[in-house]
Amino acid sequence: MAQVLPANMPVWIANSTPVRDVEWFWPVGDRGIKPCFNRGANGIDGTLSTALGMVHGGHGVLLTGDLALLHDSNGFLIRPQLRGHLTIVLINNQGGGIFEMLPIADFEPYFEPFFATPQSVNFETLCAAHGVTYELIHTWTQLAERLREFPEQGIRLLEVRSDRQQDAQQRLNLLDQVLT
């Protein structure tokens, strides 16, 4: 995203794993990309609604995980009144990826249902119910192409599917490289 978003693009970054990944790995640059996020209590309340408020009268991007988006999916109800455009980059890892990084991840059978909280929502169907444009992203090239150009109006969701356990291991590997 840091390499392909248009200059001066506002980006709302959801709490939990997305904001940590941006803090750890987003390269320093001079393109004027405007990151916005809620740090503090680390809650996921209002993620979508806040991003929609940010873009009203303009355009921008929301980077979010599946649980944060689902927690505020009623925010889609504002779509008919939205003046502007929001592109949502959804990292769908079937649950709370941040918890894979914590010691609780070693405690099965309780970890998966009570902490990872996997979900099986079909985001294409959810988008159709709200009149939101949906696209499943298969390659990094496809994602880069979609992030270079933005519609003038409405909401589109770009779903990137990933594996929580593999993501956690990759994140640990990257952090190890950065910290050594």
All domains of the chain in start order, with CATH: 10-179 (3.40.50.970)
Q: Residue 95 CB: number of other CB atoms within 10 A? A: 19
List the beta strands (DSSP E) in 4-153: 10-13, 34-37, 59-65, 85-92, 133-137
pLDDT single digits (tens) 29-86: 889 999 998 865 556 889 999 999 999 999 999 999 999 999 999 999 999 999 999 9
pLDDT in the model for residue 95? 86
Q: Identify the pLDDT of residue 41.
A: 59
> Looking only at Cα atoms, what is the longest distance across the chain?
50
Tens digit of pLDDT for each residue in 89-119?
A: 999 998 888 888 888 888 989 998 999 888 9
pTM as predicted? 0.92
pLDDT more than 70, % of the chain: 97
pLDDT: which is higher, 101 or 151: 151
CA distances from 32 to 6, 62, 108, 134 (A): 9, 16, 44, 27
Sorting pLDDT into bands at 50, 70 and 90, what band is 19?
confident
